[in-house]
Amino acid sequence: RKEVEQDPGPFNVPEGATVAFNCTYSNSASQSFFWYRQDCRKEPKLLMSVYSSGNEDGRFTAQLNRASQYISLLIRDSKLSDSATYLCVVTDSGGGADGLTFGKGTHLIIQP
C-alpha cells in the first residue's frame, strides 16, 4: 500500500525564523517527488519539485534521501504569507499516470 507520512503539526513559528519539516514515503520505487502548498479552503498548488541532488527556490530548499526514503522542506526567513498546509507528494514507479500519492500535510503558522 502506498503511503506518505507527515507530521500534521501545527508548527507555530515566529516570523523570520527558519522552519523545516520532513516526510517519509513507503514505496522505494517512487520516481518523482513534490511539495505542494494548500491554503485554507483552496486547491493545492505546486510549490516545488524535489530532485535527487536537492534544490533551492528562493527561501525554500528541498532535499531527497532515497536511502532513508524521506523528503524535507526548509523555509528560511519565514513570512506571514508562508502560513499554509504543506503537502508531501510522490509518484509511484509507473511515473504517476495513475495518480500522485499525497501526505495529509503539515500545518504551518507563522506568527508576527
Partner 1 sequence: SQTIHQWPATLVQPVGSPLSLECTVEGTSNPNLYWYRQAAGRGLQLLFYSVGIGQISSEVPQNLSASRPQDRQFILSSKKLLLSDSGFYLCAWSRHGRLTGAYGYTFGSGTRLTVV
Q: Which residues contribute to the site for partner 1 (CB under 8 A)?
A: 31-32, 34, 36, 41-46, 49, 87, 89, 91, 95-105
Complex with partner 1: residue 41 or 67, whichever CB lies closer: 41
Quote the CA–CA distance of 104 and 101 in Å, as a whole number. 10
CB of 17 to partner 1, least distance (A): 26
Tell me the torsion sign for CA atoms 66, 86, 107, 14.
positive
Complex with partner 1: residue 43 or 112, whichever CB lies closer: 43
Complex with partner 1: residue 63 or 91, whichever CB lies closer: 91
Complex with partner 1: residue 88 or 110, whichever CB lies closer: 88
DSSP 23-84: EEES-TT---EEEEEE-TTS--EEEEEE-TT-EEETTEEEEEETTTTEEEEEE-S--GGG-E
Q: Which amino acid is at 3?
A: E
* Count of other CB atoms within 10 angstroms of residue 62: 21
CB of 22 to partner 1, least distance (A): 16
CB of 10 to partner 1, least distance (A): 13
CB of 11 to partner 1, least distance (A): 17
